[in-house]
């Protein structure tokens, strides 16, 4: 992951959710463990996040702000108005924002750079044609 874009994404999420530096930091290191659902089109708000301490994978929904971890269960009761968001939810928000930033950066670059990025992503080797 691009460190600079990750920092931008983290600070945007931090502002949006009014998070402390510590909350943002703890979630930021988890971003690498975030994966979107395989059927991203059907479940755009759903993500998996691997637990940092145990080999457990939590399912997160950014639409309903839910997570399966103990921290979330402890701080959220039924009918509670304001949801407590755990570090997994925050990390999924950062993950999503990170990809928005990647897209933005690609679009702001000149055509030749965009082409190079595309070639890179596709794993191709640019070749010079000799006539
Ligand atoms: Zn959680």
- Residue 126: the pLDDT is 63
Q: Ligand 1 mean position to 84 CA, how many Å?
A: 10
Instruction: Tell me how far CA of residue 28 lies from CA of 10, 17, 51, in angstroms.
Output: 6, 14, 13
Q: Check pLDDT > 70 for residue 116.
A: yes
User: What proportion of the chain, given as a percentage, has pLDDT over 90?
Assistant: 63
- Point out which residues pair with 48 in neighbouring strands: 35, 59
Q: Check pLDDT > 80 for residue 98.
A: yes
The predicted-structure confidence for 16-60, as pLDDT tens digits, reads as follows 999 999 999 999 999 999 999 888 888 999 999 998 888 899 999
- The residue among 15, 27, 48, 11 whose CA lies nearest residue 91 is 27
Q: Ligand 1 mean position to 50 CA, how many Å?
A: 10
Q: Please answer whether residues 44 and 104 qualify as being in contact, where contact means their C-beta atoms are separated by less than 8 angstroms.
A: no
Q: Which of 24-28, 53-57, 66-70, 106-110 has the lowest mean pLDDT?
A: 106-110
Q: Please answer whether residues 36 and 66 qualify as being in contact, where contact means their C-beta atoms are separated by less than 8 angstroms.
A: no
- Residue 67: the pLDDT is 96
C-alpha to C-alpha distance for 59 and 40, rounded to whole angstroms: 13
DSSP class per residue in the chain = --HHHHHHHHHHHHHHHT--HHHHHHHHTTGGGEEE-TTTTT-TTEEEEE-SSSS-EEEEETTTTB--SHHHHHH--TT-SSPP--HHHHHHHHHHHHHHHHHHHHHHS-HHHHHHHHHHHTT--------
More confident residue, 53 or 125: 53
With 0.85 as the threshold, say if the pTM is over it: no
- Residue 123: the pLDDT is 75
- Residue 30: the pLDDT is 94
Q: Ligand 1 mean position to 60 CA, how many Å?
A: 7
Q: Ligand 1 mean position to 95 CA, how many Å?
A: 14
Q: Ligand 1 mean position to 19 CA, how many Å?
A: 15
Question: What pLDDT band is residue 90 in, cutting at 50, 70 and 90?
Answer: very high
């Amino acid at each position: 992951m691009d460190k600079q874009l990750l920092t931008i994404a983290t600070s945007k999420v931090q502002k949006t959710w009014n998070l402390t530096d510590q909350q943002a930091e703890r979630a930021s290191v988890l971003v690498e463990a975030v994966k979107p659902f395989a059927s991203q089109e059907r479940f755009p708000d759903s993500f998996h996040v691997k637990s940092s301490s145990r080999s457990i994978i939590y399912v997160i929904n950014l639409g309903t702000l839910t997570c399966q971890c103990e921290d979330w269960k402890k701080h959220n009761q039924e009918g509670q108005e304001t949801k407590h968001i755990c570090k997994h939810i925050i990390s999924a928000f950062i993950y999503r924002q990170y990809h928005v930033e990647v897209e933005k950066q690609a679009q702001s670059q000149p055509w030749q750079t965009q082409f190079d990025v595309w070639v890179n992503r596709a794993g191709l080797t640019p070749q010079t044609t000799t006539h």
